[in-house]
Every structure is written in structure tokens, then in C-alpha cells.
Amino acid sequence: FIGYISQVLKNYTDHACDGEYVSLRCPHRTTISIQSSFYGRIVPSHQLCPSRYPHSYATLIKEDVACSVGTSLQKMLDECQDRRSCQFLVNSRLFGTDPCPGTGKYLLVWYKCRPNEYKSKVACEDDKLRLSCKKSMVIAIYSAIFGRTQGGSLECPYQNLGMPMIECQSATALQLMIKRCHGKRSCSIYASTYEFGDPCYPGIQKHLNVIYTCDSTPLLLPVDETQPPALSSGSSSSMEPVGVGTEMALLSNILAAYAFITENPERAALYFVSGVCIGLVLTLLALVLRVSCRTD
């Protein structure tokens, strides 16, 4: 579990030169979330992705070190966003018009691995944010933003007080949320400048936006909760009927099934319809065999 969370929280960076394959991959139960992308050249070729042309030919063409393609981010979103893995060949034709023919270019990609099932909560400035998970589940923080984003927040609308709309974010919000809530069943924190500092100009209204997921972690539970109590031979508990344990197991299974249905109604409906269809097909086959045997 700890390894899984460390992979989810990690910021990944990958690059590939022209003519090479770029390959992005995320661990199980996560998908790729592209953060940023660059295609072009801003450093000389002797520092990154040396020219494939002979040195005598390369000297005839002045290398452009201020070359970039504005469609690289959208192309990466089209190719890899929300997938567990993706791979493709890097070349200028992939990104449209070549802004600097004759100059060898490269692709830089920054991405994270987002859990398939995650939750998002927003708290306006000076309000309390509460996160919680069900029993035997703990919080795993994916991202946290405190400040004011360019798109704003529907829960905390921006009130224009004669100040321009400027994006500003706290640099320590994610680390603080991980420290307060990571690995716990529940936690609460105020979306205030006292906790996160003030990353914006005075008077700008801020909000706290946290994306997290709940995951099972039996390794973090106390030992006495994961191990059944040992019964001595002279204890009166040893005289308890075996059927009680079976009934408790059945009740636990029923509760687990109910929790699954309430959390995944579409999947439960699909399983139910599939079961009915399979039952009808088996019944039809049984009737066909019975009629065939009677005819014979």
C-alpha cells in the first residue's frame, strides 16, 4: 500500500528525441494525468538530444534554440490522458506544422498517476474541510490547492472587489494535507491563511481544493483487530456453538454486498442482468435437451 501511494503521489517526467518512442505508464488502478508538455528545442543539441546529422552538415544549418510547438499539450492529452499506458513515435509531423525545419527537437512530458476512483472536496476561505473514509479504509491525498485558480470555483465564487483575477497558489498545500490526513480514516483542517499562509495579494478570496481517494490498508490496523483472539481450552468461550461464527460470517458478507451495491449501482445492475440472462440461457438449453430426449 505504501509503495502504491508513493507511486500515485510522485510527479513523473519523461522525454524522447525525434525518432524515438516515448512511453508513459502508471501503476494498477491509476490512469495518466498530463500536467504539462513541451515539444521543440530550447537548449543546444550537445546538452540534450544531439543532432543525427553529420557534424559538417549540422554546421551549415544554424540551430534554433527558441523553437516550440503550441499543440504539444493538446496532443499529449489526446494520446495519453486517462489511460494506464501509452506509447508513440515522436516526430514533427505528429504535432502539425514544423516551426523550425532542420533543427532536431525533443518532447518533454510531466504527468501524474491519478486513481481511477477519487473524491474531490472544496472549502472556502476560513471554512473547515472534513475528509473521511469508511471503516478499514484510509485517506490517500492525491492533490491539494490553496489559493485562487484561473477558472475559480463554483462552490466559492469570486467576488470582484476592483482587483484583477490573478492565479495564486500555496506551494506547501499538498505537503500539509499529506501530513494532516494521509493514512487516517478522517481528518479536518481550516482553509485559512493561518494554516497555509497567504499566497495571494491581500483581499483576494481563496479556497482549498483537495482530491483524495480511500483505499484499504490492513497493514495499518492494530494487530488485535486483524488477528482473532486466542481461546484457551478452559475458557467458556470455547463452548460457543460453531454456528454463531457462521452466522456472523454470513451477516458480514450481506453487509459487504449491500455496501458494494450502494457504492456501485450501475455495476451491480449489470451483474444482476448478466446473471438473469445466463440463467435464461441455461434454462432454455435444459428444455431443449429434455424435448430432444423425449423425442428420441
Would you tell me which CATH number, out of the four given (2.60.120.740, 1.20.1560.10, 2.120.10.70, 3.20.20.70), belongs to the domain 119-157+164-215?
2.60.120.740
Does the pLDDT value for residue 258 go beyond 60? no
If pLDDT is split at 50, 70 and 90, which confidence band does 3 have? Answer: low
Nearest to 30 by CA among 80, 94, 78, 83: 83
Return the domain boundaries, the chain: 1-115, 119-157+164-215
CATH number of 1-115: 2.60.120.740
45-66: average pLDDT:
66
Residue 262 or 102, more confident? 102
Per-residue model confidence as pLDDT tens digits over 225-251: 333 333 333 333 333 333 434 444 554
| pLDDT at site 92 | 85
| pLDDT at site 109 | 92
Per-residue model confidence as pLDDT tens digits over 65-84: 888 888 888 889 998 988 88
118-123: average pLDDT:
85
